[in-house]
Amino acid sequence: MGERISDDRGRLLGAAFGGAAVGVLGGLIGLGGAEYRLPLLLGPFGFPPLQAVILNKALSLVVVAAALPSRAAGVSWALVGEHWTEAANLLAGSIAGAWFGASWATRMRSETLCRVIALLLVAIAAVLLLGHAAHSTGLAPGPARTAAAVIVGFGIGTLAALLGVAGGELLIPTFVLMFGLDIRLAGSLSLLVSLPTMVMGFTRYSRDRSFTVVRDQAPFLASMAGGSLGGSVLGGALIGLVPSSVLLPILVLILLVSAVQLWRHPQRP
């Protein structure tokens, strides 16, 4: 993971630049980038796994809340409202999954949590590689699709809570494949599902003693949040500059390398 960043001023500067770099990556691919921020928190900044997940969740909340208003320029809220039932089906499962995932994470040993995170990063890499350009006519409406959406939502909420991410990398392909929606509309709907899901996970984490890291690391959080927001704006402006055929393999490789390092060195001194 590289050298740890220990000096206070260096940590704040590193947090801003690290957040900006992750924001650019996320903006380029149309996601929040939290799956890339987590390895930074675990590696160079040396946070224990549970604290890193909680910090990542706090940062994801800020990024998603800031992204919601900007989506109206590309996808009208009226159009989003026409598909509220699809979002509600996934949300019903993801809310429950977020509580379960956060509860599970607080009971794991640090070594176990680190290795679970490593496996989930590999899963996210596979979704990015195979599902980013997905398209589908969707499943036929009915009770079976509703039940499937709730079950899939539960899984997404659980994974999002364990990684401290918004879950857009999983929600967007789900909206496209299960409901046959346009990918831009799927992006807006994913934010509407992600925000309450993250609030639920965050609420559950707030009951654990490790949650004090949010207060103790407030300056660090502010620096990384500012960098993440600025980077995401820049990344969004650069969309199209780097072809997806080039960008996606690079992003997947970053996740896989991070996963291998976490698996080999799960315990942080």
Read off the pLDDT of residues 157-209 as tens digits, 9 standing for 90 and up: 999 999 998 888 888 888 888 888 887 788 788 888 998 999 999 999 999 99
CA angle, 90 then 152 then 23, to 5°: 75
Separation between Cα atoms, residue 225 and residue 230, nearest integer Å: 9
The three state secondary structure string of 151-200 is HHHHHHHHHHHHHCCCCHHHHHHHHHHHHCCCHHHHHHHHHHHHHHHHHH
pLDDT exceeds 70 at position 244: no
Please tell me the predicted confidence (pLDDT) of residue 89: 94
pLDDT tens sequence across 26-37: 766 666 678 889
pLDDT exceeds 60 at position 4: no
Separation between Cα atoms, residue 78 and residue 65, nearest integer Å: 19
CB within 8 Å of 80: residues ≥ 6 apart: 185, 188, 189, 192
Place of tokens 């291998």: 260
